[in-house]
Amino acid sequence: MNDYLIGIYKEVGKKPTLIKINNKKEYVEMLLEGEFSKFEYDDYVVLYKTNNECLLANIYLNTFSYVGLTIKGNIFVCVKNCVLFITNDI
Query: Residue 33: which of 15, 21, 51, 16 has the closest Cα?
Result: 51
Residue 90: pLDDT band with limits 50, 70, 90: very low
pTM of the model: 0.80
45, containing H or E segment: strand 44-49
**CB within 8 A of 42, min separation 6: which ones?**
none
Read off the pLDDT of residues 27-86 as tens digits, 9 standing for 90 and up: 999 999 889 988 887 888 889 988 887 787 777 777 666 667 778 889 999 988 766 555
Distance between CA atoms of residues 41 and 29, nearest Å: 20
